Every structure is written in C-alpha cells, then in structure tokens.
Amino acid sequence: MTNQERLFVALVEVVALAGIGAGCAHRENMQAASGVPAAQGTVTATKDSDGNTDLVVDVKHLARPDMVTAGATVYLVWIDPAGGKMESVGILNLGSNLEGILKTKTPQRKFALAITPEANAQVERPAHAPVFTANVDRGD
C-alpha cells in the first residue's frame, strides 16, 4: 500500500471513528480537508424504486484540482463499502464559480465516500489525499 493509500484509509477511519455523517440522515455535510478550508460540501443518499441509492454530491468554494495538487485535472468521487472494493463513481466537474454537482447511482446503501484530485479519470485507486470525506448511510 502506498503512502497516499495509507493516508486515504487513515482519513476515512478518522471520519468513521468520529461518527461524522453516520446515522439515519439522508443528507450529510462532508468533512473538508485542511487544504481546502473554504470548501463546503454535502452528500444526499436516497433509495430509488429499484432499491439502489441515488447519490447527489454537491460542493461549493472548492479550488480547481490543479490548485490543490500539482498535475491534477479532475476530482473523482470514490465509494468504499465495508467489506467491498473501493470504486470511482464519477467525475465531479466544477463550474467557473467553483461549484459542482455529481448525480449518480450505486447499489450500496452504506459506505465511506471521498473526493480526490487526480491526474485523470482513469486511475484505478486514489493517488492523492481526499479533499472531502463522509460516511454515508442511506438510513433505511
């Protein structure tokens, strides 16, 4: 495991131990990293008619990826279900106003979520520390 992967796992564990975002709430504030102090973000998880989770990630005041990590061109949203495999669920595109929304689906109902700056969207696992983290529990 690389140092970056260890850092990612450690940050997710800290969030889990602190209980941030845990519980029955469908909408949760994400924890911003110290490197993006002005950034704000929420994640909303709701059950759809097929039993999947509709996921909405909404951020404001988030610096462009290359301003956070040299060479980064995109932000990727990752989910890490307990006992499962971490996977990217999409690109979080920022507008010129430094706001962005990602809407996606996952079969998972409880998982750790992280947003990382990456060089491209084809990376198989996070190479950089997350700018946001949250524990998501759909609550049903």
The CA-based angle 113-109-41, given to 5 degrees, is: 35
> Cβ neighbours of residue 140 under 8 Å, at least 6 residues apart?
47, 109
Mind giving me the DSSP string for the chain?
Answer: --HHHHHHHHHHHHHHHHTTT-SS-SEEEPEEPTT-TT-EEEEEEEE-TTS-EEEEEEEESPPPHHHHSTT--EEEEEEEETTS--EEEEEE---TTS-EEEEEEES-SEEEEEEEEES-TT-SS--S--SEEEEEE---
What pTM was estimated for this model as a whole?
0.81
Tell me the pLDDT tens digit for each residue of 39-98: 999 999 999 999 999 999 999 999 999 999 999 999 999 999 988 889 999 999 999 999
Could you tell me if 74 and 68 are in contact, meaning their C-beta atoms sit under 8 angstroms apart?
no
Tell me the pLDDT tens digit for each residue of 16-44: 433 333 333 389 999 999 999 999 999 99
Tokens (6 digits) for 53: 């989770």
What structural domains does the chain harbor? 3-137 (2.60.40.150)
Tokens (6 digits) for 43: 């994640």
Could you tell me if 119 and 98 are in contact, meaning their C-beta atoms sit under 8 angstroms apart?
no
Tell me the pLDDT tens digit for each residue of 65-82: 999 999 999 999 999 998
Residue bearing tokens 């209980």: 19
Q: Which of 51, 131, 53, 129 is nearest to 92 (CA)?
A: 131
